Chain A
Amino acid sequence: MAADALAGCRMTSSTPPDEGLFPEGELAQEGDLPIWLDEPPIGLDEPPTGPDPEPAPVPEPVPERRVAERPDPDDRATATSSAVERLVVGRPWLERGHRAWIPLEPGDRPAAAVGDTVTPLTVVAEHARDTRLVSVDPRDRDPARFPPGSRIGPRDARPRRRRGSLVDEGTVLYRSSRTRLNVAVGRHREPLHARADGTVMAVTPGGISLLLAGQALAGVAAAGRAVHGRLRIAVGDPGDELRSAGLHVADAGSIVVAGARVDVETLTRARALGIHGVVVGGMAGHDLRAFTRSQARQREALHSLAPFAVFVLEGFGRRSLAGPPWELLLAAAGTSVSIFPDPPLLVFDPAATLPQVARGTLRITAGAGAGTAGSIDGPAVIQRLEEGVHVLAVAFVGGGRRWLVPLADLERFQ
């Protein structure tokens, strides 16, 4: 039957026209097509503004019956509010048990072993800067003597007449033959700290894995190196943008909360002032890339500055921290926090008392009213919006108002 129904299109020379994909008469059968095709177009009460990041204006109040009138009477897909809430994507909130990596480069020497308990100031590795590769003919040519990652000093190497002999202690990178070890040697060495309380879970050539003891918040992006410091709120409102003039010398050593957005100039000044890190709602992608490049240049410099990191919590562009994130940061102000770039994590002091978000709290993340917390007030229905797209939407009540929100633009704190 189907072979007759699905004709496809083909060039015809002798064959008669075939029936269509959906032969006439079958098209209108319920179940053959998605039922939303028959629904009338229904627009959002406020035109969506995209992920605009400015604390999006909460829409004007609308009469409650407006939403109630709109759902298509044919669409009887209804559910209780709690059932609908389960259709909202969950946002992991403060969680314990996160893992973070402290990246290592060739020539770096781990100083911690699996199972070690660490604190923010524990030295977990020694970082080699300005690394170069030296070929070494070891005195002891037993292949088991110098495995990759082991240390080798000038006394372990046979003297070489030409340039390039080992004058400092180095780390064996690989062995290319019985008589040739390739050793990574750094001109300068500096300690790498754990930057948070936790336990060492793995030590690999690429990094050290830490199981963090404190609660952590996952972000969208981060750049720089792991840091820790006292949290300070540098803006008066979660929708504000921190400018370089808003930074003070007194902030040195702290991690500042920069509001909805920060630019690369402010980050550069913060780093120069000795601030350890910045927590921000959003950041332009090109600023983040520029900052990452700047950090790389800093690391290559002869006298590199102290570690510095930026942690982006909500998204790219301008993003308000309004709602539970702001309340959390206000509560954590003055306590010690850490930023890990890989993966992007903001880690709180294990001893800190942090406000809990009521389980199931809902918040709008995009479009009109972004940042507003509230609750669902009605069934989920598939709606055809003014621009012709079909989305699963719900009536949402928040900030004393009620309007229609695409389900995918909501998040549920877990």
Chain B
Amino acid sequence: MTPRFLIDHGTATLSAALVAHLDGRWRLIASAAFPAGIETDAALAFVAERAAGLLDDAPDLRPVLPVLRGWRDLERIEALSAPPRRIALLAPTARRAADLEAAASQAGWLISARLTPERSDALAVSVAVADLELDALALAAADPPRADEREAVADLAAIAGAVVARRPDLVVVLSGAAAEQVDRFPFEQVVLAPAPPPLGAPRGGSDLSRILMALAGQPNGARLAAARTASTLATVLERTVESVDVGASGGAWFRATPPSADLVAGAMAEPDAANGALGPMATAELDGFLLAAGAMVPERALDDEEDLDAVIAWSPLRIDRPTHRDRLRDLRTRPWRDAAGDGALLRMAAGRAALARIEAERVRLGGAPAERMRAPDLIVLAGGAFALAPGPAVALAAADTIRRLGMTQVAYDHARLLAPLGVVGDSERASLVADLADDLLLPLGSVLVLSAGRPGREFGTLHVDSEWATGEAQPLASGALRLVELPPGAPARVELEVRDGRFGRTRARRVGFEATGGLAGLLVDTRGIPLRLPQRSERRREVLAQWQRTLWPGAE
């Protein structure tokens, strides 16, 4: 099997990797990331040359060398993330608008306006619908409509229909009972969809959001492709995987739960006739969402300083607020620039803020609060926001924001392979993921998150048993972040003894975990769930810098 390029065309960066089939399995040979907008061939030439340089030193890899000379002819598997499309939301009541907004935002749409008769007059609605940057509008009502909705929906449809008739490029989604107004719109521009489920319904995904996701062009997009690979990873590894992606134009959160052992056994007994791999019954359960506001610096932040200030709240930089905001605006408009020095810290702060935003949105969309969420076996971070930062700092960013009670391994999609792998067919992907699993993810470390009341209180002891740790039991105090050295790949057994006999909602005096090392080692985090930071900006900066100092020594 000849080598092939895996290419992730992001909105800010282009990432290219070369994989080859060697010694009976696929291996990652080389990868690199570049600013988006350069010629793909220039990037591939660089990666091929880099690979050739590496292969010189590895005799067992030399068979690939002649093939690399003709790198232009190698197969290319490409994933593309496009900027989110814009949608205006119209609903008869504020409550229905909130339901509709939840469905649209988790499908990756950028919400340009949220209009209800209670808050917007006909002129305002007309201006918003005529917005030249708009790609679609959605009008929703309950099904069947409530008494107070029927008349308002007809009015909104009349206003929108007058504009849509002169905008043939606009897609109209009529959701629920709004479908009754279909006659007011050109037939070829209308998509009928079910009513939006109530905001915060237990299952985030809905038929409406799936339709909206398809209309947004997301099924072929890089973020959903990466989620598919995360799902395959969960199946292959039989581990629960959470993947969080933060890019320049949006973000995503997905959780893949492996199928039960019975299902896998059944599927293995009767492989899929078509592809010879595990049947569809054996695929992982995937739950999650795409989020335009999950971008490193969301677009709305250009006008909304609250969003910028939310990023600044994570920044350890000592510069004045207006300059801070301007640098973040620049990060939005030219996300690949200024990656060194202060720019690296600012980028990391933006990445952290985005992770926090995604986590908040997960709960708003009906997910369990972090303190009641079971820790996944593996958290996979992806996206350009973390591409340049040192691994330990990225692990800390994950620990700061994605807080799950218990032990979790954290890894990073360093070569940006998840998205291109998500483009290939299921069986081929399963085979590639199984082969590449060791190369696919960069192990950042393990994080043990504990919640134990007021800061400073000693609540138990911790015993780490590994080749590198001391092996002595150490007292555990709440409100602290402790680093235990554990090299990448090194296994450790961690035993926790809690005085009050409670671990989360479980009654247990002694709890054991397996941990796996990474660039950051093992982080024992007793800072509580959720993480509380000082309100005063100066104190907050000190605390953030103090935590970061250990894991990012060159940052100051």
Interface set of A (CB-CB < 8 Å, partner B): 1-3, 5-13, 15, 17-24, 26-27, 30-35, 41, 44, 47-51, 75-79, 83, 86-90, 101, 103-106, 131, 133, 147-149, 172-176, 182, 184, 204-207, 220-221, 284-286, 289, 315-317, 342, 365-367, 380, 382, 385-392, 406-409
Contact = CB atoms under 8 A, between A and B. Distances in A.
What 9 pairs across the A-B complex have the smallest Cβ distances?
A8-B377, A2-B437, A76-B53, A22-B489, A48-B341, A86-B42, A148-B162, A206-B130, A174-B162
B123 interface: yes
- The interface centre, meaning the residue of A75, A90, A407, A408 with most chain B CB atoms within 10 A of its CB, is A408
Given A6-B437, A31-B27, A387-B555, A12 B514 contact: yes
A32 B440 CA distance: 8
The interface residues of chain B, by DSSP majority, are classed as mixed
Contacts of A342: 132
A317 B326 contact: yes
A20 B489 contact: yes
A316 B388 CA distance: 23
Nearest to A386: B554
Contacts of B57: 30
14 contacts: A2-B436, A8-B376, A17-B493, A21-B441, A22-B488, A27-B487, A30-B57, A48-B343, A106-B126, A175-B162, A387-B341, A391-B339, A408-B34, A408-B337
Nearest to B466: A17
Contacts of A12: 493, 512-514
Nearest to B347: A389
Nearest to A409: B337
Given A8-B377, A316-B330, A408 B514 contact: no
A18 B514 contact: yes
Interface in B336-378: 336-345, 375-378
Nearest to A35: B54
Nearest to B391: A37
B491 A408 contact: no
A50 B121 contact: no
Contact of A317 (B56, B122, B330, B439): B330
A149 B130 CA distance: 12
A79 B555 contact: no
B389 interface: yes
B50 interface: yes
B46 interface: yes
A388 B407 contact: no
Contacts of A289: 303, 305
- The interface centre, meaning the residue of B33, B132, B407 with most chain A CB atoms within 10 A of its CB, is B132
A11 B516 contact: no
Question: Which range contains the number of B residues in contact with the other chain?
Answer: 35 or more
Interface stretch (B78-86, B97-105, B408-416): B408-416
B38 A51 contact: no
A174 B122 contact: yes
A387 B554 contact: yes
Contacts of B329: 285, 315-316
B166 A19 contact: no
B553 A23 contact: no
B341 A27 contact: no
Interface in B494-509: none
Contact of B342 (A33, A50, A90): A50
B545 interface: no
B554 to A, nearest CB: 4
B127 interface: yes
B343 A89 contact: no
A53 to B, nearest CB: 9
B97 to A, nearest CB: 20
Contact of B446 (A9, A88, A182, A382): A9
A106 B38 contact: no
B344 A389 contact: yes
A65 to B, nearest CB: 22
Contacts of A22: 438, 443, 488-489
A13 B496 CA distance: 12
Nearest to B387: A390
A87 B46 contact: yes
Contacts of A173: 122-123, 126, 159, 162
Contact of A10 (B122, B337, B514): B514
Interface string B404-443: 0011110100110000000000000000011111110111
A388 B340 contact: no
B38 A87 contact: yes
B263 interface: no
Contacts of A207: 130, 132
Contacts of A2: 236-237, 433-438
Given A131-B123, A389-B339, 4 more contacts: A48-B341, A133-B121, A387-B340, A409-B340
Contacts of B457: none
A173 B517 CA distance: 65
A333 to B, nearest CB: 27
A407 B166 CA distance: 46
A119 B31 CA distance: 51
B552 A77 contact: no
A131 to B, nearest CB: 6
Given A22-B489, A34-B415, A89-B38, A388 B326 contact: no
B158 A174 contact: yes
A406 B339 contact: yes
Contacts of B322: 284-286
Given A12-B493, A21-B409, A22-B443, A32 B438 contact: yes
Contacts of B123: 106, 131, 133, 173, 184
Interface string B53-84: 11011100100000000000000000000000
- The interface centre, meaning the residue of B27, B161, B338, B492 with most chain A CB atoms within 10 A of its CB, is B338
- The interface centre, meaning the residue of A12, A101, A284, A407 with most chain B CB atoms within 10 A of its CB, is A12
A31 B439 contact: yes
B21 interface: no
Nearest to A149: B166
A326 to B, nearest CB: 20
A380 B340 CA distance: 16
B286 interface: no
Contacts of A49: 341
B236 A315 contact: no
B37 A90 contact: yes
A76 B437 CA distance: 26
A22 B305 CA distance: 43
Contacts of B406: 9, 11
A310 to B, nearest CB: 15
Interface string B384-398: 000011100100000
A293 B251 CA distance: 31
Given A13-B512, A48-B341, A286 B409 contact: no
B53 A77 contact: yes
A174 B489 contact: no
Contacts of B130: 104, 106, 204-207
Contact of B37 (A51, A76, A89, A101): A89
B438 A8 contact: no
B165 interface: yes
B167 interface: yes
Nearest to A106: B126
B339 A76 contact: no
Contacts of B491: 7, 17-20
Contact of A31 (B29, B39, B163, B442): B29
A284 to B, nearest CB: 6
B490 interface: yes
B458 interface: no
A77 B326 contact: no
A406 B123 CA distance: 49
Contacts of A387: 340-341, 344-345, 552, 554-555
Contact of A408 (B323, B336, B376, B487): B336
Interface string B224-242: 0000000001001111110
Contacts of A149: 162, 166
Given A20-B489, A50-B342, A10 B377 contact: yes
